Amino acid sequence: MLNILKNKLLSEKQIIQKEPNFREGLKLLKEKQYSKALILFKRSAAKMPNQPKILNNIGVAMAGMKNYAQAIEHYKKAIELDPNYYIAYFNLAIAYDNLSKIDEALDVVNKVLKSNKDLDGLYIKAVLLKSMLLEKKSDIDSAIEVLEDACAKIKDNNIIKKLIKLYYLKEDFIKLYELLDKEIKGQDIESEEMLKIILETLIKLKKEAEFPIYFNNFAQREGAIDEVKSLAGDYIKSGNLKASILLYEAMFNNDPENYLTIGQILISLYEKIGNIDRALEIAYEIFDIFFKKGIIEKLESLLKFIEKYKREDVNPRLKLIELYKKNNLLEKAEKSYEIIIEKKLEDIELVKDYVNLLEKLAEKDRKYLEKIVQIWDKFSAVFPDNPEVMLELGKIYANNFKYQEAIQFLEQAIAIKPDLYEAYFHLGLLYFSLGKFNRALNYLSKIKHLRKEFPEVDEIIKEIKKMDQK
């Protein structure tokens, strides 16, 4: 023992300068080539016996090879040679922990903490190790106490994060929130686990409105959005819809590439929890985007949801009709008109648009002519004194060769509006077709008093007079 104490203890830097094997061994240790490093450290020990730094690194190499028992013996020798070599104490505590000797590990790590040495962050490492050992013993309160004491002495993010995790484990959300608010808000969030803890704490304390502040600092990380999607999916599977909604809402404003997809997911989630107002708000928002992009199938899907809760709002369906017509999907447009026309019979322009569409379809299938008649009949029931309706009905019946009905509606139109020259024109044509030339001339000549220039009328009048002379 006396010979050992007389041995001059060298610093790691001095050993590196004197012993190349030791220098190369340290390089291999960093590369985790433990067996090769061990060979070189043992060579160094043979040349320079009883040096704590060499013995400690032999222990580290052996621990790397999971030979913890021998590693412990070398750490102890290093400590025997230098009782103030606290890095060896720390490594010894880790080795005991790896052998599940928690009490022995705690005894050793306490010596490190009592030293108040912080060589290479040793104090912080020892605090974290002690809290972990106490956690393994299920002594969460003592683990928290160690970390709280450390926080009072030194500010370190790793200690703060560990304390947050233990508060979460103990469900002490008040202290957890206080620590988040003081130390984490505005800082980068580096892990999905921490984001989960923050989210659940804010939900528990009904402070969900603060979540975007933390999320924005997490979302900047590469790959963060994928992690959030995974976490949100896990919450959905577990039935925690509120947490998943908060995550998707945060992504809704931070993931432009998946904005529309996320919006559709949110609609479904909000509907499940009964928040229809927010679901509709999002539905309208992304409906407009799909409309601008012209994605019909997406609009059809969204429209089903919107009309489920907002049947009185026909504007989204009118936008879809616009796209149908633009893409020549006339039959789909007609079916959409049919859904809303009953609600919009008072809108004559809309009715005319629908009739124009039916007329185009009737060019290929005359069944649509009957629909035209039905629409104007319904419109006339709503507005019985509307001359425009009577005029349109007269024209429709005339096109269907129902001349008497046509004449009846056109004469009603004139009775309501004596200056409706189009009604006179069509009556003239009808009587001309029926061979009643005098009556045809009578109606057509009246147009001349209502409208001075009407070349087509002049030609028809000339034709009638010729035929009458024959």
Residue-by-residue DSSP string for 12-60 = HHHHHHH-HHHHHHHHHHHTT-HHHHHHHHHHHHHHSTT-HHHHHHHHH
98 within some domain: no
Total domain count, the chain: 2
DSSP state of 7: S
Which of 254, 270, 295 is at the close of a domain? 254
- Map tokens 């035929």 to a residue: 467
Q: Is 37 exposed, middle or buried (0-12, 13-18, 19+ CB in 10 A)?
A: buried
Average pLDDT over every residue of 68-78 = 97
Q: Answer whether residue 130 is part of any domain.
A: no
Q: Is the dihedral angle over the CA atoms 336, 339, 344, 348 positive or is it negative?
A: positive
The residue out of 211, 235, 254 marking a domain boundary is 254
Q: Which of 173, 153, 154, 151 is nearest to 162 (CA)?
A: 151
Residue 211 resides in a domain? yes
Mean pLDDT calculated for residue range 234-257: 89
At residue 351, the pLDDT reads 85
Mean pLDDT, range 156-176, rounded to an integer: 95
Distance between CA atoms of 70 and 441, rounded to whole angstroms? Answer: 123
Q: Name 412's Cβ contacts closer than 8 Å, sequence gap at least 6.
A: 387, 390
Is the pLDDT at 289 greater than 70, yes or no?
Answer: yes
CA quadruple 258, 242, 144, 149: dihedral sign: positive
221: pLDDT strictly greater than 90: no
Choice among 30-44, 50-64, 207-221, 402-416 with the minimum mean pLDDT: 207-221
* CATH code of residue 401: 1.25.40.10
| pLDDT surpassing 90 at residue 319 | yes
In which band, very low, low, confident or very high, does the pLDDT at 6 lie, cut at 50, 70 and 90?
very low
Print the domain residue range for 190: 171-254
For the record, the structure tokens of 218 come out as: 């997490």
d(CA 30, CA 64): 11
- Domain termination site, one of 254, 271, 306: 254
Q: What is the tens place of the pLDDT at every residue in 428-451?
A: 899 988 888 889 888 888 887 776
Question: If you ran DSSP here, which 8-state letter would residue 254 be given?
Answer: T
- Residue 135: pLDDT band by 50, 70, 90 thresholds? very high
Q: Is residue 413 part of a domain?
A: yes
What are the distances in angstroms from CA 167 to CA 171, 173, 195, 237, 299?
A: 6, 7, 14, 25, 47
When the pLDDT of each residue in the chain is averaged and rounded to a whole number, the result is 90
Rounded Cα distance, 211 and 415, in Å: 69
Is 389 inside any structural domain? yes
CA gap 245, 251 in Å, rounded:
10
Q: Residue 223: which residues within 8 A CB-CB, separation 6 or more?
A: none
Question: Sorting pLDDT into bands at 50, 70 and 90, what band is 4?
Answer: very low
Task: Kindly tell me if the per-residue pLDDT of 131 is higher than 60.
Answer: yes
Q: Which pLDDT value is given to residue 5?
A: 40
- Sort 12 into a burial class: Cβ within 10 Å, 0-12 / 13-18 / 19+: middle
Quick check: 418 pLDDT over 50? yes
Question: What is the token pair recorded at 7?
Answer: 């041995």
Q: Is residue 245 one of the residues assigned to a domain?
A: yes
Does 103 map to a domain?
A: no
How deeply is 241 buried, as exposed, middle or buried, from its count of CB atoms within 10 A (0-12, 13-18, 19+)? middle
- The one-letter code for the residue type at 419 is D
Is residue 217 situated within a structural domain? yes
pTM of the predicted model as reported, rounded to 2 decimal places? 0.69
Residue pair 22/40 in contact by the 8 Å Cβ criterion: yes
The answer, yes or no, to whether residue 395 has pLDDT greater than 90, is no
Q: What is the mean pLDDT of the segment spanning 118-142? A: 92
